[in-house]
Structure 1
């Protein structure tokens, strides 16, 4: 897929589809959206277009080609309310609930933002929804929740706006059509069907008359009249007369026409009628397996957009769908947790509330990405009571074993392609106990984590012994009493957000009320302590959402009101620890890093850089000490569909960083990797470097480095060409040779900043701790 973007400047409020974050990093981003829920459809020639929550895709039923359009191309990631393909202009107009309009060219792969409605301050935000586009004589009539706006696509200019409510007030217009010299508007909230003469000034609300009362969804113009519908009836306008042509017992969700063949979609069925509306030509029942949203008839088949299984294709009145069509993706877009290791990435959809309330229970399944293919497991295929699935832990010693927490049912294990649920019947996990309801069962498991010995540590909320462990070698469970610091597990702490285990075996736990908890049993005696007095320990809030141990054994603490670092973790139990804020200079003035930010997750990569997710501000990528902001990704300057980041996962093998948001999953490829113990697996790629390779931007990579090494690159005669050291020549600081964790990047320039010539170059590696050395060769062909 190629990308190109237009920057257009008019007197109106247009913008490029996103800031030009694609210029050097387009290939670094990947998107993984769910297309299971289909909201709308449109048929043009051999292609059918479908919309999901915040993306589009097309299906050519002759070539069977499937193309998707999402934030990677420049779509906003917001909720799509309607779309329209213009055959005349070969453009797709996309309308959003927030008033944004985007114009997508599916051939040139360009996107233009139309921000006028979204940014108009005189229209309340809850009245900006785009409901429909209608094209007539090179003019587009845009139906919105405030009225009708005229738009000229060729000039990218707005014309007049028609406020057709009483006394020129707002009126929710669902659709418009033009027939001869009249324009018709269907309106919601008892606005009725309204009509005006095109020869009269449409901007004057007095020229609009209501010709039929009620609330109506859709107007369809055909060769023998105008049809429209309310929730349960189909009406027809002929020669100024309105008749009810068909009534139904269920709510109509979608009403479409193609060559006088009408498709009506209900939640439980889809019907096809000719213009007589006597008996249905085709009846498709969902057999209580799917919920239908939209449908259309094309290529002698019914294409029905469902709530959970994409587009279902039916031949005539077949009881079973012949196929299900939608791009590969996870089950849902609201990502609660993501974890990635080796060749697999797991995603869950939660959830529990900010205050650890499991209700209402969530019955979502899980999704697993393996080698670019999503394997989705519906809730019905999981063990009973596998609800509120949240945090994920992949066993570092056996990547085929995965544990997924259930914040009500226990702990779900995936092993050898089978699922098992641990609860009170087969483990030491505990349900909370209610004095007035002894039969109530709720095993509230949040985060889990493996230590260096392969023992799994588990957080079990609302009980007196909330820390559990399971040793796979012995098969033994252990529980650890926290009543010395939390007297009542049921009443004094609502839940625990995160557990991290450092190099000394200390388990660091974040609580909602308890602040930071430290637990260590590695010496045989148990050490247990909490710090939650904001003033005494310098915490911005005791409500801790995320913890991360970096490569210096510093503890990074993310709260709902900012960031702190505990530098001296080794003396936590024996002193009065105080956390520190990071002070940076911004415009020459000192300020606190991420002050008052709601921090959801902190992850440390192989170079000890920090990825920090927030609510409302996107993702930050910091240098090891936090003094340098390497990247700040938002939905405005990247393919992120939302600035609300729920979780981050780093795949140390691939260098991909996954961002789980409330509107979808994306990843960014850093190209870096974790460090190795030795140089045994070190290699250079690409090698040889052939003509045409862009060394300046794509760079030559040396992978498999140790944590503390020196690299010298010389020509065949021994002249020094480039040199770098792990903790000095860090990446993103404009060095010709730079090191990021276990990977070095060389732009092909020498010490004088000139591009090197063709030839063989030696890469001399030296580990500064073990004194191990290794020599590699690079061949460059100009």
Structure 2
């Protein structure tokens, strides 16, 4: 007899410990969409899109686990809690596995499947974890992997398709003496679970050739679900016996404590091991418009993971749900944010790199009040407020003169104004004195395409309207609209994909970007224009696609484009005759070799903090925090070294009062507890922290509450100078070293601060304990 070729495939376990960032970062993820649920230790473990929350059934307390605690931030596909090992295991779409143990603060990241080159990148999804005799059977798109929970290492991997091919295993179930594998593309297969040679595909026999999405053992019975949404029981000697045909697509198939829970898009049902119906919940549930995505039954209660409402706990034979949901925004697909002291606004509208809004997004907006939590205004509330769509909200801006007033631009429907978290008015073609107008792309009505916004010093709101000659818009504090014709500087405006970012200089000049024609400057006083373009000698931009603008403390304009960064120095003189319109690249030394800073990198936003340092976000490379002239990179955040869930960071905003820096990414919102604050008017709020500095502390002492350009001297108690600097913003850092050389000794140190005009002096004390 000819022996079949055996595909032996062993993953060599590679574990890494992820850093916990709770001391310096905060997460603001959405937990509304729950992909998978597990249970154990009297707790419910709910997997949202890229984070997890844990609900204690006894105390009703909720704990969250996210990138701040060390998770990867990738899209979660399944979750499992092992009571035997006190271990939570999280599987991802890309094949990554995170392990969180009850008695450990760190997250273990397992990258073996993710990095295995013999498995195609789009075939690594983890579908299910199934524990048996101390091992996890990992059902994945390529086959089955065996993972030893006690040793935290991989054993064999089984490719059980024809001739050892990789097939998509959706779930496994064990009913001794067999292990069953339900697959898409390989039918229903089984083998002896104690067989030491399961890596040999010939040891697996095919029971049925149809496509299966699930397998679960319930007591002494085993059930499977076909892609045709019918449930079958396997009986030895009789084969597969149909037991139910369900309405709606089955989205989850789970067993807990000998109760089988089946979730469809229309209902969730619970059955005992003999397939007697115990209870069902039809959807949608009153007051919670959503659809099921996952579910389990425990102690005569359904715990149902929904698409938009978190987890709903519903007792059997009841229609009264209890919502289990951590505080957070509506969605993780953050696009635009704006912060002011103590609050943040977030929108979810989206356009691609070519400013194409299709498909339209209907996601509402969210507001964080730091001391109170999140208030979410969903799309339905916006629709009901105005009787028409308020979709594709691509920018959001807090009125600096009235923090309770917020504006939001729609790349489809006009300008939205909110007050006290309530939609107040939607400006469109009907109520803007004919300034806002529908535009056409070809023969298609593309709506009112507004994008960037900024306020000038007189309280006027400036925004831009794409594909129309009257492309620059001013809304006065009294509510009067004015449009400005931009054709004197931009020919064929209707052919430009979009007018983009807007910023107003301290002189009141309006600068706005375009998608393909560079940067336009407008002087409201004279009505004159000028333009900064990509051609050498006519602007020197690395790309005519301008995505980000920021004025720094020196009134220099930082320009972010699709292919890098430039600085424009002639902000105040751009309208003079023969004005220099050339922007300057930033040249840095890298390993002693001159290089252009952020060469060919797509820039999404630039923000300036209280110390005149720059935060620069990118579409592919995370975030850069650089010195005032960008010659020094102070910090670099990526998904590999920080809680950023992706390197695609869409927007940045800074709370100038606390120094907190918010990052909006396509996979969620996170915040860095920065220390650079805006300068104060006087020294009444001077403080130093941490204070005292305790043994083992390796960070910097922050001295804030400073005025601009204040002189700071630090001396020991006898007057010996150990540190001196000048503030650029409202705070400075001291590394507790004497002029950067050696750490100072234990003792009391005096912080002597003098304002720039020497009118005010104040002293603070720092206690250092080594």
| TM-score, normalised by the number of residues in structure 2 | 0.92
Counterpart of 2:530 in structure 1 is 529
Match of 1:578 among 570, 577, 582: 582
Aligned residue number for residue 189 of structure 2: 194
Match of 1:270 in 2: 268
Q: Is 2:332 the partner of 1:337?
A: no
Matched, 1:137 2:133: yes
Deviation at residue 45 of structure 1 after TM alignment: 3.9
**Residue pair 1:762, 1:775 contacting (<8 A) in 2 also:** no
Q: Are 2:218 and 2:273, in contact at CA under 8 Å, matched by a contact in 1?
A: no
Q: Deviations over 1:748-781 (max 9, x none)?
A: 555684535545x65433333x332222242648
- d(CA) in 1 for partners of 2:536, 2:56: 63
CA RMSD between the two structures: 2.4
| Equivalent residue, structure 1, for 2:642 | 638
> Structure 1 CA distance, aligned partners of 2:431 and 2:349?
23
* Contact 1:673/1:743 (<8 A) preserved: yes
1:382-422 residue CA offsets vs partner (Å, 9 max, x unmatched): 13321101211111111111111111111111113421211
Structure 2 residue 105 is the aligned partner of structure 1 residue 117: no
Q: Do the aligned partners of 2:504 and 2:510 also contact (CA within 8 Å) in 1? A: yes
Maintained 8 Å contact 2:221/2:273: no
Structure 1 stretches lacking a partner, 5+ long: 1-9, 727-738
Deviation for aligned residue 1:379: 0.6
Once the two structures are TM-superposed, the CA of residue 228 in structure 1 deviates from its matched residue by 1.2
Q: Secondary structure at the match of 1:454?
A: coil
State the 1:698 CA deviation.
5.2
Please list the CA deviations of residues 41-87 of structure 1 after superposition, one character each: whole Å capped at 9, or x if unmatched.
11224111111111111111111121111101111000111121111
- Is residue 237 from structure 1 mapped to residue 224 from structure 2 by the alignment? no
Match of 2:420 in 1: 416
Q: Deviations over 1:203-226 (max 9, x none)?
A: 221222211121112211132221
Q: Contact 1:712–1:720 (CA<8 Å) still a contact in 2?
A: no
Shift of 1:576: 4.0
- How far residue 475 of structure 1 moved from its aligned partner, in angstroms, is 3.5
**C-alpha separation in 2, matches of 1:538 and 1:249:** 62
Deviates more, 1:474-483 or 1:116-125: 474-483
How far apart are the structure 1 equivalents of 2:441 and 2:566? Answer: 39
Q: Does structure 2 conserve the Cα–Cα contact (< 8 Å) formed by 1:284 and 1:318?
A: no
1:185 paired with 2:181, answer yes
- 1:623/1:408 Cα in 2 relative to 1: closer, same or farther (>3 Å)? same
Between 1:508-517 and 1:356-365, the stretch displaced more is: 356-365
1:55 to 37, 42, 51: 51
> Counterpart of 2:494 in 1: which secondary structure?
coil
**TM-score, length basis structure 1:** 0.91
Equivalent in the alignment of 2:5: none
Q: Secondary structure at the match of 1:638?
A: coil
- Match runs of 1:702-721 below 5 Å: 702-714=703-715, 719-721=719-721
Alpha-carbon distance change, 754 to 92 in structure 1, aligned in 2, over 3 angstroms: closer
Matched, 1:319 2:308: no
Tell me how far apart the structure 1 counterparts of residues 570 and 755 of structure 2 sit (CA, whole Å). 27
Shift in alpha-carbon separation, 1:595–1:464, aligned structure 2, 3 A: same
- Give a deviation string over 1:175-219, Cα, whole Å, max 9, x none: 222332322111013x21101234362222122221112111221
Counterpart in 2 of 1:5? none
Q: Secondary structure at the match of 2:23?
A: helix
8 Å CA contact 1:148, 1:173 repeated in 2 = yes
Corresponding residue for residue 84 of structure 2: 88
Aligned to 1:501: 504
- For the residue of structure 2 that corresponds to 1:17, the secondary structure is strand
For 2:759, the equivalent position in structure 1 comes to: 772
The answer (yes or no) to whether the contact 1:273–1:282 under 8 Å persists in 2 is: no
Q: 1:679·1:774 contact (CA, 8 Å) conserved in 2?
A: no
Is contact 1:748-1:756 (8 Å) kept? no
The answer on whether the counterparts of 2:709 and 2:729 sit within 8 Å (CA) in structure 1 is no
Residues 1:174 and 2:176 are matched in the alignment: no
User: Displacement of 1:461 after TM fit?
Assistant: 1.4
The unaligned stretches of length 5 or more in structure 2 are 1-9
Question: For structure 1, which segment, 332-341 or 563-572, has the greater mean C-alpha deviation from structure 2 after superposition?
Answer: 563-572
Residues 152 and 417 (structure 1), Cα distance of their counterparts in 2 relative to 1, 3 Å cut: closer
The 5 A counterparts of 1:430-579 are 430-434=436-440, 440=445, 442-472=447-477, 474-491=478-495, 493-521=496-524, 524-536=525-537, 537-574=539-576, 575-579=579-583
Sort the Cα spacing of 1:740 and 1:32 in 2 relative to 1 into closer, same or farther, 3 A.
farther
Match of 2:3 in 1: none
Q: Which residue does the alignment assign to 1:389? A: 393
Cα shift at 1:39: 0.8
Is the contact made by 2:350 and 2:392 (CA closer than 8 Å) also made in structure 1? yes
Residue 218, structure 1, aligned to residue 214, structure 2: yes
The Cα of 1:361 is off from its aligned counterpart by: 1.6
Contact (CA 8 Å) 2:716, 2:747: kept in 1 or not?
A: no
Maintained 8 Å contact 1:230/1:252? no
Distance in 1 between the 2:549 and 2:268 partners? 50
Distance in 1, Cα, partners of 2:454 & 2:218: 62
Alignment deviations for residues 511-563 of structure 1 (CA, whole Å, 9 cap, x no partner)? 10121111112xx3112122324333322111111111111111111111111
Query: SS of the residue aligned with 2:309?
Result: coil
State the Cα deviation string for residues 682-701 of structure 1 (Å, max 9, x = none): 422459x45848776352x4
- 8 Å Cα contact 1:93-1:101 kept in structure 2: yes
User: Aligned partners of 2:271 and 2:743: how far apart in 1?
Assistant: 72
- Of residues 153-162 and 27-36 in structure 1, the stretch that sits farther from structure 2 once superposed is 153-162
Q: Which residue of 2 aligns with 1:261?
A: 259
**C-alpha distance in structure 2 between counterparts of 1:669 and 1:513, whole Å:** 36
Deviates more, 1:413-422 or 1:620-629: 413-422
Going from structure 1 to structure 2, the CA distance change for 1:501 and 1:693 (only over 3 Å counts) comes to farther
Aligned to 2:361: 362
SS of residue matched to 1:194 = strand
SS in 2 for 1:173: strand
> Residues 478 and 263 of structure 1: is their aligned pair in 2 closer, same or farther, counting only changes over 3 Å?
same
CA spacing shift, 1:695–1:75, aligned 2, 3 Å: closer
Native 8 Å contact 1:17 1:75 kept in 2: no
Structure 2 partner of 1:301: 301
Query: CA–CA distance in 2 between the matches of 1:695 and 1:259?
Result: 48
Indicate which of 151, 160, 184 corresponds to 1:155.
151
Between 1:303-312 and 1:564-573, the stretch displaced more is 564-573
2:439–2:448 contact (8 Å) kept in structure 1: no
SS of the residue corresponding to residue 401 of structure 1 reads strand
Task: Tell me, yes or no, if the aligned pair for 2:218 and 2:272 is still in contact at 8 Å.
Answer: no
Distance (whole Å) between structure 2 residues aligned to residue 424 and residue 629 of structure 1: 46
Distance in 1, Cα, partners of 2:693 & 2:593: 47
The SS at the match of 2:380 is helix
- Bigger mean CA deviation after superposition, 538-547 or 259-268: 259-268
Matches of 1:424 and 1:11, distance apart in 2 = 62
CA contact (8 A) 1:133 1:140 kept: yes
Whether contact under 8 Å (1:388, 1:407) holds in the other structure is yes
Q: Distance in 1 between matches of 2:685 and 2:44?
A: 49
Post-superposition shift, 1:454? 1.5
**Displacement, 1:343?**
0.9
Q: Is the 8 A contact 1:749 1:756 kept in 2?
A: no
